[in-house]
Structure 1
Amino acid sequence: MSDGFAGWKAYFYDPSMAAAAIFIVLYGIVTGMHTYHMFRTRTWFFIPLVLGGYFEFIGYIGRAISSSQTPDWTLGPYIMQSVLLLVAPALFAASIYMYLGRIIVLVRGEKFSLIRVGWMTKIFVAGDVLSFLMQASGAGLLVTDSQQTGENVIVGGLFVQIAFFGFFVICSFIFQRRISSNATALENASTTPWLKHLYALYGSSILILIRSIFRVIEYLQGWDGYLLRNEAFIYVFDALLMWLVMLIFVVIHPSEVNCLLGRGRVMTTKGGLSISEIAV
């Protein structure tokens, strides 16, 4: 590595240009769609997810640049991809946390929530910010003489993310069970598409949890570990899973919930054309 540290390598394989290019295109398309829908529908609480999409897009550009430099890698592209790809899911999580609060308010189910809705978003987003900062600072330490410290900080940040996300999924499930076991609440909720959006939330949350667990195992194995020495894993358990998270919210866009709350517009489909309906 031309401007790295003695005995330190950016990659233990030759980064694939083809794989990076595929995900540059995939993330470019899905992030562009989310950007358009966000502004068109005024779904502002999805700003973190959209920013995360740009992080992923730029991160894979970094991997593509690295692949063109093999084996004389420079620090710039490596830092670009290592930091942005590591922290992007924390931005996805921030939007997902705010999404649940809106679903609960939509069905007037505040009393069925394990945590007060007003506190729920604050608690989970605070944990998400902590996880984000830990992972970002740890990624920065990876390219210094404090590499081991960097790995430890990243693992700590990932554990924080897993703990908060796991508890978040439990809170979501308890809320659903409480609503479903109350006939009156269930009847009131049935007039809204709440379950569809809750399932989208579950699906995206599980994908992020799987990715975070993979990253923990990856860093716990260390630089000599099997996962870090085989590029295919980062594309299967990170790139693909995070792209599917963004795809889920293209198919089931949260603007519908926002619109029903009177906070924006909803993207619908009529005759194969995407239009927006202004909430009354």
Structure 2
Amino acid sequence: MAKLEPLASGYYLWHYVPSIAASVIFLLLFLAATLFHSWKAWKTRARFCIPFCIGGLFEVIGYGARASCTNNTASIMKYSIQSVFVLLGPVLFAASVYMVLARLMRSVGAEKYSLIKITRVTKTFVTGDVVSFLVQGGGAGMMAIGSLASTAKGIVIAGLIIQIVVFGFFMVTSVVFEKRMRRCPTSISMSMNGGQGGNWKGHLYPLYAVSVLIMVRSVFRVVEYAMGQEGYLLSHEWPMYVFDSVLMLGVMVIWGRWHPGSIRQEAAGSQLLSMNSAQSKA
């Protein structure tokens, strides 16, 4: 029977025995979603979705390691792997999300509606994401060391706050783009969807949805670590599944249902339509 075991120093890595059933269920769900996204990225040649697929792989590895911890709660290696990979998967999801906005703006000829220079949109947000990734990864790697646990949590919280700030600015940039487009739609956007416009909204709204889910998850993680090792969130298992696992699976489902890989084709189609119109007038 599985039971909690301390390290040689007497420090407990876990406050509960992790459920192997829950870990395996989410391992399989994330595996299925990751395989689907990998196929979709290959089919649409959407290279900007590669970080998203890697994020899904991180989730699979994380829950696989978590499942193996059920009967080995004193394994520092397994604890560290599940902690790092589950924590960092959403950061990679965010990297692909950031790359979509600039592509969406270009696909409808709305570069002028960007809150920051269009050539800097992806660079700005992805750079912030990389910094968040490195900070969170460094902190998560230290969490299994009892004497450094407090410092490690502080580092992870700092990384999560960076992610929240960057995501907040990203969402503001997205909302400003939408408002400007609604006020004065571009000619390319109006030529889409049989002259009705609106195709860009079909990509922007799912972008909002996944952004909110990742934001909620990040806020939860900040509160979780801020409450400390003895806090309710870290000493009970269900909050992690409800406010992290389910939300990130939701991100993969939404991203799969409204996949952004078609943005590139829409942009090419719009340019061709514009060229044909110009030739007709000539």
TM-score scaled by length of structure 1? 0.89
Deviations 1:173-205 (A, max 9, x none): 010001101155563565462101100100000
Asked if 1 retains the 8 angstrom alpha-carbon contact of 2:44 and 2:262, the reply is no
Query: Mapping of 1:20-99 within 5 angstroms?
Result: 20-69=23-72, 72-99=73-100
In 1: Cα distance, 2:135 partner to 2:186 partner: 44
In 2: Cα distance, 1:107 partner to 1:184 partner: 7
Residue of structure 2 in register with 1:104 after alignment: 105
In 1: Cα distance, 2:213 partner to 2:84 partner: 20
Aligned length: 261
Aligned residue for 2:230, secondary structure, equals coil
In 1: Cα distance, 2:226 partner to 2:98 partner: 27
2:207 is equivalent to residue 177 of structure 1: no
In 2: Cα distance, 1:68 partner to 1:258 partner: 47
Q: How far has the Cα of 1:149 moved from its partner?
A: 1.2
Amino acid at match of 1:169: M
Indicate the RMSD between aligned Cα atoms, in angstroms.
1.7
In 2: Cα distance, 1:205 partner to 1:243 partner: 13
Asked if 2 retains the 8 angstrom alpha-carbon contact of 1:3 and 1:75, the reply is no
Long gaps (5+) in structure 1: 264-280
In 2: Cα distance, 1:259 partner to 1:172 partner: 21
Residue of structure 1 in register with 2:251 after alignment: 245
Asked if 1 retains the 8 angstrom alpha-carbon contact of 2:6 and 2:13, the reply is no
Q: How far has the Cα of 1:24 moved from its partner?
A: 0.8
Amino acid at match of 2:159: G
In 1: Cα distance, 2:12 partner to 2:266 partner: 52
Deviations 1:191-232 (A, max 9, x none): 462101100100000000000000000000000100001100
Distance change >3 Å, CA 125–CA 184, structure 1 → 2: closer
Aligned residue for 1:242, secondary structure, equals helix
Q: How far has the Cα of 1:262 moved from its partner?
A: 4.0
In 1: Cα distance, 2:6 partner to 2:51 partner: 33
Asked if 2 retains the 8 angstrom alpha-carbon contact of 1:107 and 1:192, the reply is no
Whose helix proportion is higher, 1 or 2? 2
Long gaps (5+) in structure 2: 270-282
Residue of structure 2 in register with 1:205 after alignment: 211
Asked if 2 retains the 8 angstrom alpha-carbon contact of 1:107 and 1:188, the reply is no
Decide which moves more: 18-27 or 184-193. 184-193
Amino acid at match of 1:78: Y
Amino acid at match of 2:57: Y
TM-score scaled by length of structure 2? 0.88
Q: How far has the Cα of 1:22 moved from its partner?
A: 0.7
In 2: Cα distance, 1:59 partner to 1:254 partner: 26
2:117 is equivalent to residue 116 of structure 1: yes
Structure 1 consecutive aligned stretches of length 4 or more whose deviation exceeds 6 Å = none
